[in-house]
Structure 1
């Protein structure tokens, strides 16, 4: 898990660092640390959150191991499976 605010001291520095991590394949999903939700980097819901709450994951397994659930907007199928399992990940 990588916190958005740990990527640099300015918005520009964080943006450059995040782009590099995405290109390297070290970040594939984003999440909200406060709500414990993860989803696609392109999700409109995720783009609206405060940078202080924004975190990034290598993959869904990492997010689930940390207790995060899939986003109901951009990951509908995964969210449906999560709900069917009574809120259990995996």
Structure 2
């Protein structure tokens, strides 16, 4: 039986899921609508504790996460978070 190509479930700019042959480069949390780096220490800690995974989403790039209405993580993207916070006022 031949190996099927691996696909990844990502969100597009409208927040709709689609399959991609390329893994997401940014992760997010659907409930809190926060995005960040895949190695974010806060997300990694939550995943290790058995949380977060159920609401985990992935984006091809940062622009898509922003377009989908997600904000930057204050832990792994502090500069982006501060810019977002200033613009949100």
Instruction: Work out which of the two has the higher radius of gyration on C-alpha atoms and give 1 or 2.
Output: 2
Pick the structure with more helix per residue: 1
Say yes or no: TM over 0.5: yes
Compute the TM-score of the two structures, normalised by the length of structure 1: 0.66
Unaligned runs of 5+ in 1: 7-20
- Residues 48-63 of structure 1: pairs in structure 2 closer than 5 A: 48=46, 49-63=51-65
Structure with greater strand percent: 2
TM-score, normalised via structure 2 length: 0.67
- The CA RMSD over aligned residues, in Å, is 2.2
Aligned residues: 68
In structure 2, how many angstroms separate the alpha carbons of the residues matched to 1:60 and 1:83? Answer: 17
Task: State the 4+ residue runs in structure 1 displaced beyond 6 angstroms.
Answer: none
Unaligned stretches of 5+ residues in structure 2:
1-8, 12-16
